Amino acid sequence: MISNTWVKAPSGELERRELELADPRDHEVLLAVRLATVCGSDIHFLEDFPLQRGTDYQAMGHEAVGVVAAAGSGVRGVKEGDRAIASCLYGCGACRNCQRGQVGICERYGRLPGMSNILAGCQGEAFLVPHADVNVVRVPDELSDEAAILATDIMSTGFAAVERGGLRAGDTVAVFAQGPVGLCATAGARALGAGLIIAVERVPERVEMSKRLGADVVLDPQDALEGIRELTGKRGVDVAIEALGHRDTFAAALAAARLDGTVSSVGVYGQDRSLELPVGPAFYQRRIVTSMCPCGTDRLQALLAILRGGRTGLEALFTHHLPISRTDEAYELFRHRRDGAIKIGLVPG
């Protein structure tokens, strides 16, 4: 099959190419795209990370809802004609990490750096997914494409920031930056029982979306630390989430966490190759955890169950829709946050 797919060329620019996709092997499925999107990680792959050695392009896009166009003979979880989603990071299902549920850090495929297990080619007409019974699930009929696609990456990542932060019912949480992942972390904090949720953001559309998804208070970054001290009686928050991937927000999250609190980082530090840990009062007796997107069929099913409950409201993140043929425009819209863009749906056409 030939798929018209957006790729990163050696020049670093986006271009559309005809890619030949092989017939699925025993464990693979071929998904025909119904809805794709642009992620902040796509911007990093385009601007900050070089092509892997020996390749002359990188197929772009790792989030999609598709229809199973063909399935290998060994696939049992989905069948031809099913509407399905795949995790943005895939695993083999057999290694030690996959066996303990850590599919996203598969020992066979997920060797960092390089992230050779990131799904690719979703910003096109079709893409292949390996080891489908570990990485692909059918989408329930009652869920929209816009809801289901969130489970493939940003919802899983945002919720993981809260989970790995060790949130307990009633805890105070600060989420630094309200891009799509930060907004999912805010929604996750609400869903998982946080008491006070403080968001840090200045873009008006994202401020409003943050309140809609569960933030009790939204602070401007310039005044955030002072505001957090006032709101917590100078104690600091139980969990501080860094969702941007910038050294300044990491430092702010560290300063915002209380004694024996947790800093949970899910930002992609594409331009910052190092982070500073000042040895001051905000350094001692804190936990720092980092997360990649939890993946695999169990994780996808759990997130779809939450979405089926209809309590997160995360579908509202989609502010724009464009045909896949205009994906280059979608990158510009997303990169510069034009017209209040938060999440952009890419549909066939």
pLDDT at res. 37: 98
3-class state of residue 296 by DSSP: coil
| CA dihedral sign, ordered 268, 274, 278, 284 | positive
158: enclosing H helix or E strand:
helix 154-164
Per the CB < 8 A criterion, the answer to whether 266 and 160 are in contact is yes
- Measured distance CA(133)–CA(24) in Å, rounded: 13
Query: Exposed (0-12), middle (13-18) or buried (19+): which is 284, by Cβ within 10 Å?
Result: exposed
Closest CA to 151 of 306, 323, 292: 306
pLDDT at res. 291: 92
Closest CA to 238 of 181, 286, 281, 188: 286
Any idea of the CA torsion for 172, 246, 90, 20, to the nearest 10 degrees?
A: 140
Question: Along the 349 residues of the chain, how does pLDDT read in single tens digits?
Answer: 999 999 999 999 999 999 999 999 999 999 999 999 999 999 988 988 888 888 899 999 999 999 999 999 999 999 999 999 999 999 999 999 999 999 999 999 876 544 579 999 999 999 999 999 999 999 999 999 999 999 999 999 999 999 999 999 999 999 999 999 999 999 999 999 999 999 999 999 999 999 999 999 999 999 999 999 999 999 999 999 999 999 999 999 999 999 999 999 998 887 777 888 877 777 888 999 999 999 999 999 999 999 999 989 999 999 999 999 999 999 999 999 999 999 999 999 9
Question: CB neighbours (10 Å) of residue 33?
Answer: 24
- Measured distance CA(280)–CA(299) in Å, rounded: 38
pTM here? 0.95
Residue 282 carries which DSSP code? T
3-class state of residue 19 by DSSP: strand
pLDDT at res. 111: 61
Question: CB neighbours (10 Å) of residue 323?
Answer: 12
The tokens describing 66, both together, are 């598709």
Question: CB neighbours (10 Å) of residue 52?
Answer: 10
pLDDT at res. 303: 98
Residue 207 carries which DSSP code? H
47: enclosing H helix or E strand:
helix 40-47
- Measured distance CA(242)–CA(264) in Å, rounded: 6
